[in-house]
Structure 1
């Protein structure tokens, strides 16, 4: 990942509080880069074990990437405020934000109460709670018909209204958790019973058990990476989204930038800007997922944060702008010099998933994969970690990343490196050793 071209000298002497954090390599690297430019970083967390998975905190990459860790209930806005407020009632930080879907609303509320820069909390909540986004968009052609159901007795009417196939998902989750396609009434009932039984989010917040149903729209899905400053949305570009695992939708790779004809690109940017305007989102980064259908672009989700899964690396290496660092500038009340955005080359990332469940013993092929030209192997598991095969992105164990002359060559090299890696479990070796 190249060093951003912009001057981030405005970080010097400033302090930012981050409510929880992404664990992927780009976000840790962003912390180091910001601190190199003089930014002091406080991490507010409710559970260090969520990051370490039983390992020692002091050896975790985040421990060396922040200046201070504050253990606090990050689901309680008053507790967060108390952690960053002095005895005189004034904030001890110059900015407060979050890139975690589960904490962006709380961070926006805390920043507003402290008088610090930040997005409208209602806009963030409207984006995060997916049925509210659908209601806010109304009858525009790029919305998707939906029903929010609270009990099984509502399923028949929803099926008549939406038809099959449809998508069933929790109204407020991340990483593709719980999202699946249903093709008939039997699958719909099964999906509802499973999802309605989930009463806690992946980060422990209470959930109502409601299930969001949406008409399935066929098409190629992309994401648009943006930064909104004082109501004007700047576009970094378009990212591809490769998926596998139907009926679930798990991300397995991305490339940047996706070339589009001028008319399609302008229509897509118009849809994204109109979506953010509709919910009142006037300040901050956003990762908006959109699907190209026969009838035009359809908005899948709007995520008011920087993108994950190394997509910030894609943007930075191709444009010279860091969405992470730019977002922190905004949180401090500074205006990042985003435009004009110029694309130079292309980049790709492949997400790695284990072929087997079990306890990781070793990773074979790292040296060979790292030797592929232009490729970085970025793993976030180590010996002794449990490997899962879940129906969401949380089972990802790392990435192969490549920055190249164009996105397709970068993708081919990242794919080649990914094919050389094998995650060997203790259970697998025990099975192989049995007579």
Structure 2
């Protein structure tokens, strides 16, 4: 990853508190870059073991990438406020934020209580609770028909209302956890029975057991990466979203930027800007997922944070602006000089998933993968890790990343490098290629998969 072209000298002498953090290389890199420009970083965390998975915290990349780690209940806004407040209620930090889907609302609430810059907490919550986003959008053509159900006896009526196929998913989760397509009432009933048993999030917050149902919309899916400053939404560009497909919708790769005809691009940007305006989101980064259908663009989700899975690296290498650093500038009250956004070249990432469950014994092919021109091999699993297989992005064990003059050429190189990697696992006394476990606990990494951060 190249160093951002723009200067982030405005970080010098400032301090920010981050409520939990995203995992893996791009986010640790962002921490290091911010500190290089003089930003002091406090990491607030409720459970260090969520990051280390049994390893020593002092050897974890996050430990060396921040100035201070504060152990606090990050589900309790009063506890968070107490750690960053001095005498007379004076904030000890210049900004407070989070990129964790499970903590963005609390961070927005805490920032508002402290009088620090940040988005409206209600807007963040509306985006995070996916049926509230649907309600906020109303009857616009880019919305999707939906219904939230609490009981099994509501399913038949929901099927008549929405029709098949449909998508079933938890109303509020991350990393595509629980998302699946259902084509029959039997499949819908099975999905409901499973999802309604989920009574806490992957980070331990209580859940109702309700299930969100949406009409399935066919089409190519992309994401739009934005930064909203004082109500004006700036667009970095469009990212491809390669999916494994039915029945679960798990990301396996991305390229940036996706070229679109002027009229189609303008329509897409208009939909994204209107979506953020509808929920009152006026401050901060957003990663909005949209599908191109025969009848136009349809909004899948709006995530009020920076994108994951190395997408920030894609944006930075192509535009020269770091969404991570720009978001932290906003959090400390500075206006990042985002526009004009200029695209130079293209970039691609492939997400690596093991094939079978087991305890990781070794990874073969790293040298060959790293020898592919222009490719970075970014792995976050190591010997002894219990590699997980769940139908979401937590099964990802690393990335192959490439940037260059063309996004498709970069994708070909990233794919080539990924083909060399072989995860050898030990299962029931035997050695096999692959990894993963059928029923993992809630320690799978949000948005960027399980495992330790920044290993390459």
Q: Is the 8 A contact 2:44 2:70 kept in 1?
A: yes
Aligned residue number for residue 251 of structure 1: 251
The alignment's TM-score, normalised by the length of structure 2, stands at: 0.94
Residues in 2 aligned to 1:429 and 1:95: alpha-carbon distance in whole angstroms: 50
Do structure 1's residue 129 and structure 2's residue 129 form an aligned pair? yes
Measured after TM superposition, the shift of residue 428 of structure 1 is 8.0
Residues in 2 aligned to 1:141 and 1:23: alpha-carbon distance in whole angstroms: 36
Do structure 1's residue 24 and structure 2's residue 21 form an aligned pair? no
Measured after TM superposition, the shift of residue 88 of structure 1 is 2.6
Do structure 1's residue 44 and structure 2's residue 44 form an aligned pair? yes
Aligned residue number for residue 99 of structure 2: 99
Aligned structure 1 segments of 4 or more residues deviating by more than 4 angstroms:
none
Aligned residue number for residue 202 of structure 2: 202
Aligned residue number for residue 162 of structure 2: 162
Measured after TM superposition, the shift of residue 245 of structure 1 is 4.6
Q: Is the 8 A contact 1:24 1:308 kept in 2?
A: no
Aligned residue number for residue 375 of structure 2: 375
Aligned residue number for residue 69 of structure 1: 69
**CA offsets, 1:215-264, max 9 Å, x none?**
00000000000000000000000000000052000000000000000000
CA 1:148–1:309 in 2, change beyond 3 Å: closer, same or farther?
same
Do structure 1's residue 174 and structure 2's residue 174 form an aligned pair? yes
Residues in 2 aligned to 1:245 and 1:360: alpha-carbon distance in whole angstroms: 27
Measured after TM superposition, the shift of residue 25 of structure 1 is 0.4
Aligned residue number for residue 269 of structure 1: 269
Measured after TM superposition, the shift of residue 430 of structure 1 is 2.1
Corresponding pairs, count = 433
Residues in 2 aligned to 1:258 and 1:65: alpha-carbon distance in whole angstroms: 32
Measured after TM superposition, the shift of residue 404 of structure 1 is 1.2
Give the SS at the match of 1:64: helix
Residues in 2 aligned to 1:430 and 1:274: alpha-carbon distance in whole angstroms: 55
Measured after TM superposition, the shift of residue 272 of structure 1 is 0.1
Residues in 2 aligned to 1:169 and 1:147: alpha-carbon distance in whole angstroms: 11
If asked which structure has higher relative contact order (CA below 8 Å, sep 6+), I would say: 2
CA 1:12–1:403 in 2, change beyond 3 Å: closer, same or farther?
same
The alignment's TM-score, normalised by the length of structure 1, stands at: 0.99
Residues in 2 aligned to 1:431 and 1:336: alpha-carbon distance in whole angstroms: 51
> How well do the aligned residues superpose, as a CA RMSD in angstroms?
1.0
Give the SS at the match of 1:369: helix
Measured after TM superposition, the shift of residue 188 of structure 1 is 0.2
Residues in 2 aligned to 1:211 and 1:381: alpha-carbon distance in whole angstroms: 32
Give the SS at the match of 1:401: strand
CA 1:113–1:313 in 2, change beyond 3 Å: closer, same or farther?
same
